[in-house]
């Protein structure tokens, strides 16, 4: 994964074409990039983000943000009760408890890669 100015990109290799290509994730606007080396693809990712931000500014439009910080979550009533009780037991609000618990799980998973 690539990170630049709050945007996240993903790269893949096309062996037949001999290129590395990628796309910025989690926005509706399409931002892509290519390169023949990892270094070149990373630079193309950053250049694409800079071009996108410049284009938005020229058009007087707000660039799309990758994440709002709001995460709608649906579950069953029984699980909702379990989550609530676990949060209360830890002395936190359900949002604070879920944020901490999910962040720890994500970090464990991402660090295992």
pLDDT digit string (tens) for the chain, length 113 residues = 899 998 999 999 999 999 999 999 988 899 999 999 999 999 999 999 999 999 999 999 999 987 777 788 999 999 999 999 999 999 999 999 999 999 999 999 988 86
Identify the DSSP state of 37: S
The residue segments making up the domain with residue 12 are 2-59
How far, CA to CA in Å, does 64 sit from each of 13, 51, 61, 81? 27, 13, 9, 35
Q: Note whether 50 and 81 are same-domain residues.
A: no
How far, in Å, CA of 10 to CA of 56, rounded?
22
Identify the DSSP state of 40: H
How far, in Å, CA of 46 to CA of 71, rounded?
27
In the chain, the number of structural domains is: 2
Position 68 in a domain: no
What is the phi/psi pair of residue 87, to 5°?
-65, -45
Hunting for tokens 């936190």 — which residue is that?
A: 92
């Amino acid at each position: 994964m690539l990170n630049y100015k709050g945007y996240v990109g993903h790269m893949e290799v096309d062996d037949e074409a001999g290129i590395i290509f990628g796309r910025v994730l989690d926005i509706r606007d399409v931002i892509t990039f290519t390169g023949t080396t990892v270094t070149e693809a990373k630079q193309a990712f950053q250049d694409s983000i800079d071009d996108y931000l410049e284009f938005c500014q020229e058009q007087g439009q707000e660039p799309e943000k990758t994440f709002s910080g709001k995460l709608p979550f649906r579950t069953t009533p029984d699980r909702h009760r379990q989550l609530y009780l676990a949060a209360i037991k830890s002395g936190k609000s359900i949002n604070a408890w879920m944020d901490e618990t999910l962040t720890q799980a994500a970090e464990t998973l991402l660090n295992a890669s």
